[in-house]
């Protein structure tokens, strides 16, 4: 199936550093979502973006819906040890074929974040 290009694949940073990760697609998207998954748990929604150019914050997290509708980024400022986990981007394509496919999300492979205290 289709996948988003998410980078970097992994990051190992010092506590207090800022983090940036992004997702790109070859086609346009109507929605960009960012999830975090902690070890042994299911993904939890962090930020949802619905309009091109939209910039949304959730505490130390900031995400933007790219103006071309083909990309999104997530920034984490002043990282702390509890930021450890896998961050996934997901999106809902702008042009969808198939009756059921408007319910599906397209996923990136995730960015694994490790924070050294």
Nearer to another protein, 19 or 47 (CB): 47
- Positions touching another protein (CB under 8 A) are 1, 3, 30-31, 33, 35, 40-45, 48, 50, 88, 90, 92, 100, 102-105, 107-110
Between 43 and 115, name the residue whose CB sits nearer to another protein: 43
18 vs 38, beta carbon nearer another protein: 38
- Residue 93 CB, nearest approach to another protein (Å): 10
Supply the minimum distance, in Å, between the C-beta of residue 39 and another protein: 10
DSSP for the chain reads ----EEE-SEEEEETT--EEEEEE-SS-EEEEEEEEE-TTS--EEEEEE-STT-EEEETTEEEEE-TTSSEEEEEE-S--GGG-EEEEEEEEESS--SGGGGG--EE---EEEEEE-
**Closest approach of another protein to the CB of residue 98, in Å:** 8
Least distance (Å) between residue 30 CB and another protein: 8
CB 47 within 8 A of CB 56: yes
Residue 2 or 68 having the CB closest to another protein:
2
């Amino acid at each position: 199936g289709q996948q988003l290009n998410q980078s970097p694949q992994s990051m190992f940073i010092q506590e207090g550093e800022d983090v940036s990760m992004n997702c790109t697609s070859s086609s346009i998207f109507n929605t960009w979502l960012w999830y975090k998954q902690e070890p042994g748990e299911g993904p939890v929604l962090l930020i949802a973006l619905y309009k091109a150019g939209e910039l949304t914050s959730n505490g130390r997290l900031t995400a933007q819906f790219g103006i071309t509708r083909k990309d999104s980024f997530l920034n984490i400022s002043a990282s702390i040890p509890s930021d450890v986990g896998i961050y996934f981007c997901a999106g809902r394509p702008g042009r969808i074929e198939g009756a059921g496919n408007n319910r599906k999300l397209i996923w990136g492979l995730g960015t694994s974040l490790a924070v050294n205290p």
